[in-house]
Amino acid sequence: MESRAEVSSILERHIVRQEVKYVNGVRVETVWVPDNADVSKVHLNRELVSREVTDPSTGKAKTLTIQQAVNRRIEEAGITKVRSNQNTCIEIIFSGSPETMCAMSPEQVNAWANDTLAWARGRWGYENVVSATLHCDEKTPHMHVIVVPIVQGQSRRSASKERMDAAMGVDTRKYKTDTTRNRLCANEVYTKPLLYGYHTSYAETVGEKYGLSRGVRAELGSYKKHTSSIEYNRQLAEETAEKERLISELTADYAELTSAVENATSKLSAQREIMHLQEKTIADNDAIIQSQEKQKASVVINDDAVEKQLAEKYVSLAELEAKEKQLQRSITDKTAECDTLDKKIQTRRQQLATKVNLTDVPKKGVLGYNTAEVTSFIESVNTATLLSQMNQAPRFYNPNESLENEVYRLRRVEDEYKKLLDSPHLLQERIDELKVEFQRKGIENMLKFAINDTGVHVNFIEVKNTSEGDDIFARFTIGEGTYQYAAHISPSEHITYTDDSRIISLWACHNFSKEEIWWNLGTPDEIQQKREKEIVTDRLSTKLTMLTRERIVVEDYKVSGDRYLAFATNGRAYFINREGKTWSTNDDRVKTIQDCKRYAKEKIWDSHGDINQLKQSLKHRL
């Protein structure tokens, strides 16, 4: 509470959130918001006491200022004499701790304001409360109440004098005091004992209803005083000056950082150019990623499938034996044919012995030369030419050699499967080896997809079975290098990896899990979403660069229906739909999709046309 001689224009402006100006002699009221208030919440403020009256001269309704409402109440009470230094009103601020007040819903705050107004009217009189305003646009909701201190009866000084005169048996009064007379006296409303009572009464009547408790009561006679508005404003001005000094220093630091960021941005732009050229490569890799995902799905193989495969192989041995017998018969037939051909060649050589000397022709064995070609050459050319052509005759491999190799390979396969079927432990070892190999291949494919490098080679795997699934630790290399990396795959397929040399086992993986040495990759789905988002971001950057004809690098984007809201490094907000139409603005208020819709009708958007129109115009110029 604070008693005042009048309601100043500054206090009036703060309470009603309006500022009065005179333009060319005409009074103009504009909305005024203090620095510590939120302009978007001004509409939540409420006037609980109406100051609207009818102007007798014009017959129209008008709204009085708070000081006019105070003066009007004094006139209605019949008080004609008011000293120039007399306090005509008392300002009371009702509030509570920020935690409690901010935790209330808007409905609870309005109910609290109505109960507070009812308590004030019951305490100081219904007509004496000329203004009550609820402020919800500042940090803590609170109420400003203006009370005119009108009381009835004689003053405390007159009553004390009457008691003294009565004790002495004299009556010095010239006139009897009218006990129903209205008086303007702030001293009989604003005293320290009464303040204690106000606090206690308000806490019991209103505060407890809304979770507010009475503050710690100071002892009577205490020298502690409430900070006045002037002192508070002085302290606030000093703090503001200090903050402005800090802001200036931070601004200088920010300018240096901005320069460094611009240099870094220019370097990044060059790298982005190279990345745009790799967009086609990324699209081609999508097919590889899909094939890798299919391979990952087929990694796990069960024992039944392996045993079934081995059984099928064993059943096919009978077919192989039948094929081997057939091959043996074929070899016998071929051998007989070769013997017959050899005899024919020897006979032909004897018949031509009188024409050509064949003693210098090397013998190549059965089917060493093509018989038809040899016969044709002997009959058509002379001896020297014949010998030369026979030495250059085309050769071919003995078919017996390929048949023998095939039979040998089939016999080895048969021996291997017989060993596996005759020895269950060898069969189980072979199954375990296949399991480990399939598991290694699956983890290798998963890491290739996560790290986006086809040169990953896993050379060590360690698996720990838990209640949630398999906890896998793997060591791998990339490309032809020998540098070792460690990867940890959780049961939920969450992947992290590191190059720390201390990670040599699953125990070490858990032991150093809290240190910042791990690179988090996420699950395969998260990795896929991250890459898809990067692709969309790059494509948006390319489209915006074509439209605006300046380099645009999109940092992030949001999707609403069929529209995008993209933010670029130069602080502008870009709005693009799927038809290619684009707008941009540098208004600081536009930060989200909701801001786009809220300020869509304001003239803050610059249109850049659409992609199709731009392509047509460029084609026409070329």
CA pair distance 188, 149, nearest whole angstrom: 8
The candidate with the shortest Cα–Cα distance to 301, out of 207, 148, 423, 434, is: 434
Sequence-ordered list of residues with C-beta below 8 angstroms from that of 470, at least 6 positions apart, any chain: 463, 464, 491
370 and 430 housed in the same domain: no
132 and 10 housed in the same domain: yes
- DSSP 8-state symbol, 217: P
Q: How many structural domains is the chain composed of? A: 5
Mean pLDDT of 124-133: 93
Which phi and psi angles does 612 have, rounded to 5°?
-65, -45
CA pair distance 546, 612, nearest whole angstrom: 11
pLDDT tens column, 9-57: 888 889 988 887 777 777 777 888 888 888 888 888 999 998 888 888 8
The percentage of residues in the chain with a pLDDT greater than 70, rounded to a whole number, is 70
Position with higher pLDDT, 322 vs 247 = 247
Predicted confidence at residue 118, as pLDDT, reads 94
450 and 532 housed in the same domain: no
Predicted confidence at residue 615, as pLDDT, reads 58
- Of the candidates 522, 557, 590, which is a domain's last residue? 522
Confidence tier at 122 by pLDDT (50, 70, 90): very high
Measured in whole angstroms, the distance separating CA 323 from the mean position of its chain's CA atoms is 66
Contact of 116 with 143, CB cutoff 8 Å: yes
First to last CA, the chain: 78
The candidate with the shortest Cα–Cα distance to 85, out of 4, 173, 190, 181, is: 4
Position 291, amino acid: S
Contact of 16 with 133, CB cutoff 8 Å: yes
Sign, CA dihedral 524-526-532-534, equals negative
Question: b/e map of 538-561 (b: 16 or more CB within 10 Å)?
Answer: bebbebbbbbbeebbbbeebeeee
Assigned domain for 414 exists: no
Position 438, amino acid: F
Position with higher pLDDT, 282 vs 140 = 140
Residue 514 predicted with pLDDT over 50: yes
Task: Give the pair of three-digit tokens for residue 107.
Answer: 């409905």
Residue 87 predicted with pLDDT over 50: yes
Confidence tier at 517 by pLDDT (50, 70, 90): confident
Angle at 278 between CA 274 and CA 280, to 5 degrees: 145
Sign, CA dihedral 392-397-399-401, equals positive
Residue 402 predicted with pLDDT over 60: no
Sequence-ordered list of residues with C-beta below 8 angstroms from that of 530, at least 6 positions apart, any chain: 522
Measured in whole angstroms, the distance separating CA 124 from the mean position of its chain's CA atoms is 55
576 and 455 housed in the same domain: no
* Stretch among 290-294, 470-474, 584-588 having the lowest mean pLDDT: 290-294
Predicted confidence at residue 222, as pLDDT, reads 54
Predicted confidence at residue 596, as pLDDT, reads 78
40 and 67 housed in the same domain: yes
Mean pLDDT of 553-563: 74
pLDDT tens column, 207-217: 888 988 887 77
CA atoms within 13 A on the CB side of 186: 20
Contact of 49 with 146, CB cutoff 8 Å: no
CA pair distance 415, 409, nearest whole angstrom: 10
CA atoms within 13 A on the CB side of 261: 8
CATH code, domain with 19: 3.30.930.30
Q: Which residues pair with residue 135 across a beta bridge?
A: 142
Confidence tier at 167 by pLDDT (50, 70, 90): low
Residue 589 predicted with pLDDT over 80: yes
CA–CA distances in Å: residue 269 to residues 248, 265, 378, 568: 31, 6, 80, 13
pLDDT tens column, 346-394: 565 555 444 434 333 333 332 333 444 444 444 444 444 434 444 443 3
Predicted confidence at residue 115, as pLDDT, reads 94
Assigned domain for 16 exists: yes
Confidence tier at 144 by pLDDT (50, 70, 90): very high
- DSSP 8-state symbol, 126: T
CA–CA distances in Å: residue 521 to residues 354, 459, 487, 489, 505: 88, 20, 10, 10, 20
The candidate with the shortest Cα–Cα distance to 299, out of 198, 447, 439, 449, is: 439
Assigned domain for 272 exists: yes
432 and 557 housed in the same domain: no
CA pair distance 584, 562, nearest whole angstrom: 17
CA pair distance 403, 183, nearest whole angstrom: 132
The candidate with the shortest Cα–Cα distance to 47, out of 76, 18, 20, 75, is: 18
Contact of 541 with 514, CB cutoff 8 Å: no
Predicted confidence at residue 70, as pLDDT, reads 92
Which phi and psi angles does 26 have, rounded to 5°?
-105, 130
Q: List the domain range (segments joined by +) for residue 541.
A: 527-621
Which phi and psi angles does 415 have, rounded to 5°?
-65, -40
Task: Give the pair of three-digit tokens for residue 269.
Answer: 């732009």
CA pair distance 450, 487, nearest whole angstrom: 11
Contact of 281 with 274, CB cutoff 8 Å: no
- The whole model's pTM is what? 0.38
CA pair distance 228, 478, nearest whole angstrom: 72
Q: Which helix (H) or strand (E) holds 446?
A: helix 424-451
pLDDT tens column, 436-484: 777 788 888 888 888 888 888 888 888 888 888 888 888 888 887 778 8
432 and 356 housed in the same domain: no
Sequence-ordered list of residues with C-beta below 8 angstroms from that of 376, at least 6 positions apart, any chain: none
Predicted confidence at residue 339, as pLDDT, reads 63
Assigned domain for 285 exists: no
Predicted confidence at residue 366, as pLDDT, reads 29
Assigned domain for 177 exists: no
Q: Can you tell me which residue has the tokens 């046309």?
A: 609
493 and 532 housed in the same domain: no
Cβ atoms within 10 Å, residue 611: 16
553 and 495 housed in the same domain: no
Task: Give the pair of three-digit tokens for residue 563.
Answer: 């529209």
386 and 328 housed in the same domain: yes
Predicted confidence at residue 419, as pLDDT, reads 67
In terms of Cβ atoms closer than 10 Å to its own Cβ (0-12, 13-18, 19+), residue 141 is buried
Assigned domain for 406 exists: no
Assigned domain for 578 exists: yes
CA pair distance 525, 424, nearest whole angstrom: 41
Q: Which residues pair with residue 145 across a beta bridge?
A: 92, 132
Predicted confidence at residue 363, as pLDDT, reads 37
CA pair distance 486, 470, nearest whole angstrom: 17
Assigned domain for 588 exists: yes
User: Pairing relation of β-strands 89-94 and 2-4?
Assistant: antiparallel
51 and 197 housed in the same domain: yes
435 and 393 housed in the same domain: no
CA pair distance 331, 325, nearest whole angstrom: 10
Position 133, amino acid: T
